[in-house]
């Protein structure tokens, strides 16, 4: 689920005379809305913004989530069909006030995004209003788009939080401790503002992201990043431990995924260390070669986070739970702790984060036609300025739960990072799924040679309509040395005769349980770096 975007209209319209929008130069002159000056963008923002006399009719950012859920809104309409710009917009001046729209259905968010996208060119084409699709002869001001967007965002957020309340109240036979945590969450929802931003954990995401933790559903990148940043912040509170371990944000795995191979011959695809600052930042944390552990989560292109799970939606929770288990010795995910861990993630994040209220519909300033000032540029939430590179990382894969999913492989990788990067596959357990579903590097046996296997027995389970069959090439399997009640996951080491660019995406595996002492989990990446001189430093959060 993606967080709804609010039309942000908050411009301080002051500036020099040369930046003033001149309609005579831009309106109905055959111009195209491409790379326009700031004054033109500011004029469009002003036209889309909600006038001061209508601000009181909008849902306040100060409403708590509970108050939002209890607020009544106009219904969402599915009847609006976005036609050609010439039909949707009109040269007629608006003849309908915004207050008449407060009780009428609101277009869906995707329609509003399209309207907003079309409005820029419509303005330059001389269009002054929106044609009301419900009544001929009625023309609405451009600011209707801004007002509708704010209401649609509030309605969408309300629907998500209503589902969260229903989930909390419908928990399966909660014990006393779970009931206490549920009451704590409900109390927090009484005061948490609905339209703010969670800040202070190293990433800024809308509060609506928290609703994902209070549902039995999948998690988005924002939710995963929140958990990763919170865990990293918690780790930084123990400098001794933090000097040896890193919990990396989601951008780390994205960088690894995008990193080209050293063997490419095209200049356009050559590796440039400056393009991946977080890798340099991570290396600097360990120093010029120290031994440490690096944990991070990876996304699978088949639309799930890399984890072994017993349902179809808990992969994100399991992935981060595995990281927490190895970093903080927390309990492992199981079917019985499924709801508990979601609630604990919500509590942990709201304990550490601060809330910044959104300014999505602050007061409308003076017309930009007199003195425009462009909106401030957006800034990235990830900034790194360190040097050095991660020298070596070895990835191992385990499970936070158990699931029979024999149609996809278990894959690991070694990443060699000095001042350049080479990626090669290091471990694979293939099943009887179609080879065409695998990345090419894993489907050509002549390119992979098993050099060793360690770890003991593999616990496989069968499920319909297909049953798994593990296939290993030239492998030696030493006897199991760990407790039989927790059969460890195989750790396979491969050497590649031909270097390949490896995309570090991971898929479901067959049923396995991890050794609790030293076995990493689903998206757990353990980096080992050779230390020379520089003592390690705690991460900056």
Q: SS3 sequence, 29-54?
A: CCCCCCCCCHHHHHHHHHHHCCCHHH
Q: Which helix (H) or strand (E) holds 217?
A: none
Q: Evaluate the CA torsion angle 168, 172, 176, 181 in order and state its sign.
A: negative
Residues in the chain: 541
Is the separation of the CB atoms in 430 and 510 below 8 Å?
Answer: no
Helices (H) then strands (E): counts for the chain:
13, 18
Mean model confidence pLDDT for the chain: 64
Is the separation of the CB atoms in 296 and 228 below 8 Å?
Answer: yes
Separation between Cα atoms, residue 445 and residue 455, nearest integer Å? 23
pLDDT score recorded for residue 109? 86
Is the separation of the CB atoms in 453 and 477 below 8 Å?
Answer: yes
pLDDT score recorded for residue 164? 96
With a cut of 50, list the residues of the chain below it in pLDDT: 1-18, 359-539, 541
Residue 181: which of 64, 339, 319 has the closest Cα?
A: 339
Classify residue 530 as exposed, middle or buried by CB count within 10 Å of its CB (0-12, 13-18, 19+).
Answer: exposed
Residue 488: which of 383, 398, 386 has the closest Cα?
A: 398
Is the separation of the CB atoms in 299 and 202 below 8 Å?
Answer: no
- Under 8 Å CB-to-CB from 416, ≥6 apart: which residues? 391, 392, 422, 423, 424
- Under 8 Å CB-to-CB from 241, ≥6 apart: which residues? 235, 327
Is the separation of the CB atoms in 509 and 255 below 8 Å?
Answer: no
pLDDT score recorded for residue 473? 28
Q: Evaluate the CA torsion angle 322, 326, 331, 332 in order and state its sign.
A: positive
User: For residue 355, is the peptide bond before it cis, meaning its omega torsion is within 30 degrees of 0?
Assistant: no
Q: Evaluate the CA torsion angle 427, 429, 433, 435 in order and state its sign.
A: positive
97: which 2 tokens?
């006030």
Determine the 3-state secondary structure of 302 from DSSP. coil
pLDDT score recorded for residue 16? 47
For residues 286, 287, 290, 292, the Cα torsion angle rounded to the nearest 10 degrees is 0
Q: What is residue 446's DSSP assignment? A: G
Contacts of the segment 141-144: beta carbons below 8 A, 24+ positions apart: 141/47, 141/94, 141/96, 141/98, 142/47, 142/48, 142/94, 143/47, 143/48, 143/49, 143/50, 143/51, 143/54, 143/98, 144/98, 144/101
Classify residue 145 as exposed, middle or buried by CB count within 10 Å of its CB (0-12, 13-18, 19+).
Answer: buried
pLDDT score recorded for residue 238? 78
Is the separation of the CB atoms in 318 and 333 below 8 Å?
Answer: yes
pLDDT score recorded for residue 83? 60
Q: Evaluate the CA torsion angle 377, 378, 383, 389 in order and state its sign.
A: negative
pLDDT score recorded for residue 295? 81
pLDDT score recorded for residue 416? 27
Q: Which helix (H) or strand (E) holds 395?
A: strand 392-395
For residues 39, 40, 41, 42, the Cα torsion angle rounded to the nearest 10 degrees is 50
Is the separation of the CB atoms in 13 and 372 below 8 Å?
Answer: yes
Is the separation of the CB atoms in 288 and 388 below 8 Å?
Answer: yes
Separation between Cα atoms, residue 231 and residue 294, nearest integer Å? 13
455: which 2 tokens?
């770890």
């Amino acid at each position: 689920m993606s967080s709804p975007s609010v039309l942000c209209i908050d411009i301080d319209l002051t500036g020099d005379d040369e930046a003033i929008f001149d309609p005579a130069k831009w309106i109905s002159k055959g111009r195209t809305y491409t790379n326009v000056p700031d004054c033109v963008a500011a004029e469009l923002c002003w036209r889309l913004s909600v006038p001061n006399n209508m601000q009181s009719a909008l849902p306040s950012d100060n409403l708590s989530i509970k108050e939002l859920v209890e607020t009544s809104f106009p219904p969402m309409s599915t009847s609006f069909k976005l036609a050609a710009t010439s039909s949707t917009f009109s040269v007629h001046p608006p003849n309908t006030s915004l207050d008449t729209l407060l009780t009428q259905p609101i277009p869906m968010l995707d329609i509003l995004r399209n309207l907003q996208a079309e409005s820029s060119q419509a303005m330059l084409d001389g269009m002054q209003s929106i044609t009301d699709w419900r009544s001929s002869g009625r023309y609405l001001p451009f600011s209707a788009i801004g007002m509708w967007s704010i209401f649609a965002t509030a309605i969408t957020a309300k629907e998500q939080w209503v589902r969260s309340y229903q989930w909390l109240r419908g928990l399966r036979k909660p014990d006393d401790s779970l009931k206490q945590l549920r009451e704590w969450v409900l109390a927090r929802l009484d005061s948490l503002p609905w339209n703010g931003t969670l800040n202070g954990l190293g990433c800024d995401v809308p509060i609506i992201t928290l609703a994902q933790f209070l549902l039995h559903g999948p998690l988005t990148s924002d939710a995963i990043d929140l958990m990763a940043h919170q865990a990293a912040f918690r780790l930084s509170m123990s400098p001794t431990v933090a000097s040896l371990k890193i919990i990396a944000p989601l951008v780390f795995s994205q960088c690894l995924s995008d990193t080209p191979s050293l063997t490419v011959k095209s200049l356009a695809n050559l590796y440039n260390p400056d393009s991946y600052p977080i890798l340099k930042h991570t290396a600097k944390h360990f120093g010029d070669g120290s031994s440490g552990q690096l944990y991070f989560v990876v996304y699978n292109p088949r639309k799930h986070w890399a984890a072994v799970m017993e349902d179809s939606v808990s992969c994100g929770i399991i992935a981060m739970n595995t990281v927490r288990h190895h970093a903080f010795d927390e309990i492992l995910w199981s079917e019985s702790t499924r709801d508990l861990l979601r609630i604990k993630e919500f509590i942990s994040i709201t304990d550490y984060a601060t809330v910044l209220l959104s300014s999505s519909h602050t007061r409308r300033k003076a017309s930009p036609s007199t003195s425009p000032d462009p909106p401030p540029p957006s800034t990235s939430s990830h900034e790194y300025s360190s040097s050095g590179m991660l020298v070596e990382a070895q990835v191992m894969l385990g499970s936070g739960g158990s699931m029979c999913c024999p149609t996809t492989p278990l894959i690991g990788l070694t990443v060699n990072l000095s001042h350049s990067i080479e990626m090669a596959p290091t471990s694979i357990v293939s099943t009887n799924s179609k080879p065409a579903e695998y990345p090419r590097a894993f489907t050509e046996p002549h390119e992979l040679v098993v050099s060793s296997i360690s770890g003991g027995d593999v616990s496989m389970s069968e499920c319909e309509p297909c049953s798994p069959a593990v296939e290993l090439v030239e492998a030696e399997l030493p006897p199991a040395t760990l407790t039989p009640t927790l059969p460890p996951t195989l750790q396979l080491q491969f050497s590649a005769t031909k270097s390949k660019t490896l995309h570090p995406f991971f898929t479901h595996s067959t049923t396995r349980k991890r050794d609790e002492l030293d076995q990493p989990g689903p998206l757990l990446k353990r980096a080992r770096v050779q230390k020379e001189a520089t003592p390690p430093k705690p991460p900056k959060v």
